[in-house]
Amino acid sequence: MNELNFDPTHTAFVGIDLHAGLNLPYAPYTYQQVSDNAVKLANAAAKAGAFIDLTQIPVTDGKDRVMPKTDMDLKTGSAPIAKPELLPELAQIDGVHVTPKIAWSGFYGTDLEMELRRRHIDMIVLFGVATEYGVDTTARDAYDRGYNQIFVEDAMTAWSQEAQTFETETIFPKMGQVRSTQQVIDALNQN
């Protein structure tokens, strides 16, 4: 396992779809656990001078979403949120940038890459929901663009334990470093 070594001033902490009021059956971590760790991460990142970006789905009526034909419906079993709001504890952090998105990835059809390039970001720390959708597709797009990445395993969660395990033990280690919230905060405190 490689040591975490990064410059916070060239690092972006990117939180995926951390909306208020999500009470969905995620695993292995509850949404509350992920939210608590996300807030700890973002506060530590802000204190260290890192860029913080939160992706947000502006509406969930599906009208703006990319929707190709698929064999499986994406219904989550929850009622649509008319206007999803970011977790207040994250949204109130000074200097947070919000990236509205219409697809799973934080890059597709957004200004995220421009915001990262103009700040000379070379490292992305990813967290949020769901691991196998928004986090995974954002990670793949970041990897294709040459960014170094850290995946905060206990600040993300999936629709099943199996999906989380597959992503964090098979996919993410091939694109970056998988660490815990505390390990990332400890690395921030050393820089």
Q: Is 38 within 8 Å of 54 (Cβ atoms)?
A: no
Specify burial of residue 41 (Cβ count, 10 A radius: 0-12, 13-18, 19+): buried
Q: Is 168 within 8 Å of 28 (Cβ atoms)?
A: no
pLDDT at 73: 65
pLDDT at 72: 65
> Phi and psi (nearest 5°) for 95?
85, 5
Residues of the chain with pLDDT under 50: 77
Give me the residue spans of the domains in the chain.
10-63+82-190
Q: Is 77 within 8 Å of 121 (Cβ atoms)?
A: no
Q: CATH code for 10-63+82-190?
A: 3.40.50.850
Q: Is 3 within 8 Å of 114 (Cβ atoms)?
A: no
**Which residue's structure tokens are 């939210």?**
35
pTM above 0.85?
yes
Q: Is the dihedral of CA 49, 6, 40, 56 positive or negative?
A: positive
| Nearest in space to 19 (alpha carbons), one of 76, 70, 95 | 76
Exposure string (b/e) for 2-11, b if CB count within 10 Å is 16 or more?
eebebebebb
